[in-house]
Amino acid sequence: MVKNFLCGALASLAVFCVSCGSGDEHSDRADLSLRGKVKSVTEKQFHAVVSETGDIEKGSFFRTNGEWDFTERFNKKGMFTSISFLDRDGDTISKSLYEYDADGHLATKSFYDPALKMKSMYEYDSRGRVKMVCDYDGDGDLMLATSTEYNDENRIETSTTFNKQGNYLQQSISQKNKRGFVTDYKYYNEERKLGNWRKEVHTDDGRLVEMTVLNQDETVAFMVKYEYNKQGDLTMSVPISENDEYIADRYLYEYDKKSNWRRRIHFKGDSAYSVTERIIEYY
């Protein structure tokens, strides 16, 4: 169960972070591989049901591992303005609002559930890279602060999180290649012990094609290979390490005229697992 869940989580990483870290001009819309001037995307997920004729249809609403339906809204530059999580009637359960400074950098992100629960404020260095994120609660009191340091010579980013007393909580260290894609990622927990270690291989345009998760003793826990279609959407997540029990994930898509998918069927092994439908609004 834990293995299948973790493998699915890594598949989601590939689905939602195809071009993260690219040296090209960044936008949230581009990171999600959306084409055209997309204004909003609403996704609704359902359990997959196989009809008597063998067709795969949507069944009841899909609710597992904390996943919910959502609507993402973008400004004309392709950056998030809001993300809302929805109940089965389409009503907002919680939402995040995004605000930007004069340079187009994310300045604040506010999370409501339904009242304001947290506000994150961002500071940048002279090269426009995030150097500090401070998280405040609904009363405006500091909760957490995360500082990021950049070793440009070795292309290493180190992010360290502290509590409001200034005590260490966690740290992540990312090694990147010349194009800005992560090749090695390590996460250290509150006890400063290595809690997650993975190595990644990306194509030149940023698609994650292979991920290796390592144990603390540097032995391989498992490896996953990712495959994409010509539209750039993930089609396969296949375990390639020996002696593991992961189930391969497979995806089939239907597209609109802008080559953005509007329906996705997710298979686990040979079994249809879920059906996701999209409503896309353009400027």
Which token pair is 199? Answer: 């190595």
Q: Please name each of the domains of the chain with its CATH number.
A: 2-181+243-282 (2.40.128.720)
DSSP symbols for 156-197: EEEEEEEETTS-EEEEEEEEE-TTS-EEEEEEE-TTS-EEEE
Peptide bond connecting 114 to the previous residue in cis, omega within 30 degrees of 0:
yes
> Which residues are bridge partners to 118 per DSSP?
111, 137
> Could you report the per-residue pLDDT of 18-50, keeping only the tens digit for each?
444 333 457 999 999 999 999 999 999 999 999
How far is the C-alpha of 7 from the C-alpha of 3, rounded, in Å? 6
Three-state secondary-structure class, residue 80: strand
pTM of the predicted structure, to 2 decimals:
0.86
> Could you report the per-residue pLDDT of 94-138, keeping only the tens digit for each?
999 999 999 999 999 999 999 999 999 999 999 999 999 999 999
Q: Are 158 and 145 in contact, with CB atoms under 8 Å apart?
A: no
